[in-house]
Structure 1
């Protein structure tokens, strides 16, 4: 597990830097060529088309279809991020491009500047988040955590109430855990209490399998101590035999 995180985080950081550099470079090039209509049109159209392509890819991309993986060293089941370019770095680059190119224009009022500042703040937040953690979910004997190597949220099993984790339909963007004891939940942003959400869209695990596994360990605390062993994962797969996937170790 640690090797996967150590490989995924630098790669994601490189993509963040690449996205910001492309946004800055295209904005400066478009500003410099503003007096040449055709060149400006091309430089303006290129990032828009790229961003639209990334947005369409994000909409149509299917969530993972695998099971969880086993790390006996850390005593955990986990799901790493899917391969490919995350949407966040691309969005950061586009916000930088759009903000700089718009602010450099001649007809920018106070409201436009406020929006541009908001775009830059969002881009900065996305860049910092992508710089510090990769999409990840981990199940241990203690509970469920999301994000690595810095967990965004840690939910002990005792904090999860009865009922199934729920998500926004077939898109499978995230799971919302039913919380019975919110005081036990640990968040990276402790002041932001918007519920316990586990993003799953960019993970290799099938959302329905992850939801079933969480529901299983909430209902069967006697099995939690052996989470992270191959034997327990085999037992879990047999218990969840109805899940439409083939897991892997």
Structure 2
């Protein structure tokens, strides 16, 4: 599990560096093509169309289809991040492109200068968030953790409302019904203890399977101690298949 997290972080960092480099290069290419004019001016349309197409593909891609993975040493079932290109690095590249393009246009239009500052700031904030974390969900005998290598939020099983169904937005997020927000542990900013959402769109696991597994252990505390074993995972899959 730790090796998968390390690989995911390296992939994230490489992706965001490439996206920012492409964004800066595209901005400079657009400025050069616009100054040359003629047929080359059509190149100014290429960067925005490229980023727009990639963003739409990332937003509307299908959710994951894999099962949970088992780590016996950590006593956990976990859902690793997808290897497909995520939306956040694309946004970093887009902000880098817009920063260069807007700075060029601000020479003739001073009203654009506030955006010249906003785009780089937004890119830096996204890079900082994406650089330090990988989307990850871990089920342990103690509860549900989200984020890696250090969990951004940990929800003990006792904090979940057994009677309330898990709320979900298809292919985007899975909302956990929290009944005891005082037990939820959260680090960093964003979200509250009463509102916990798991980033399903960024995970390789099938959202329905993850939701069913969490709901199962929330309703069956007698099975939580065995989480993280291959025998328990086989029993879980059988129980979920039997229950539909």
TM-score (norm 1): 0.88
Aligned to 1:100: 100
Matched position secondary structure for 2:201: coil
Shift of 1:2: 1.2
Greater shift in the superposed pair: 44-53 or 75-84? 44-53
Off by >6 Å, runs of 4+ in structure 1: none
- 1:150 alignment partner, SS class: coil
Structure 2 vs 1, CA of residues 88 and 190 (structure 1 numbering), >3 Å: closer, same or farther?
Answer: closer
- Matched residues in 2 for 1:124 and 1:97: separation? 13
Q: Alpha-carbon deviation of 1:18?
A: 0.7
Name the residue aligned to 2:63: 63
Highest RCO, 1 vs 2 (Cα 8 Å, sep ≥ 6): 1
Aligned partners of 2:30 and 2:47 also within 8 Å: no
1:115-146 Cα shifts (integer Å, max 9, x gaps): 44343333222211221111111101111111
Written as runs of structure 1 = structure 2, the 5 A alignment for 1:78-227 is: 78-105=78-105, 106-110=107-111, 112-162=112-162, 163-168=164-169, 171-189=170-188, 192-193=191-192, 195-227=195-227
TM-superposed CA distance for 1:176, in Å, is 0.6
> Take 1:98 and 1:13, find their aligned partners in 2: how far apart are those partners?
21
Q: TM-score, normalised by structure 2?
A: 0.90
Distance 1:102 1:68 in 2: 45
Alignment CA distance shift 1:192-1:116 (3 Å): farther
Shift of 1:28: 2.7
Tell me if structure 1 keeps the 8 A contact 2:160–2:176.
Answer: yes
Pick closer, same or farther for the CA change 1:151–1:107 going to 2, 3 Å. Answer: farther
State the 1:40 CA deviation: 4.4
For 1:132 and 1:243, locate their aligned partners in 2 and report how far apart those are by CA, in whole Å.
38
Q: Which residue of 2 aligns with 1:247?
A: none
Contact 2:27–2:47 (CA<8 Å) still a contact in 1?
A: no
Deviations 1:188-224 (A, max 9, x none): 2257427101001121111111111111111111111
Distance in 1 between the 2:30 and 2:171 partners?
A: 38
Unaligned runs of 5+ in 2: none
Q: What does residue range 6-21 of structure 1 map to in structure 2 within 5 Å?
A: 6-21=6-21
The alignment covers a number of residue pairs equal to 240
Counterpart secondary structure, 1:104: helix
Q: CA RMSD in A?
A: 2.0
Is the CA contact (8 Å cut-off) linking 1:209 and 1:243 kept in structure 2? no
Superposition deviation, residue 82 in structure 1: 1.6
- Cα separation, 1, equivalents of 2:188 and 2:119: 21
Q: Note closer, same or farther for the CA distance 1:40–1:92 as it changes in structure 2 (3 Å cut).
A: farther
**1:29-86 deviations in Å (ceiling 9; x for gaps):** 33345421243440x3222121121122123311011221100010000011122222
Aligned counterparts of 1:114 and 1:187: Cα–Cα separation in 2 = 34
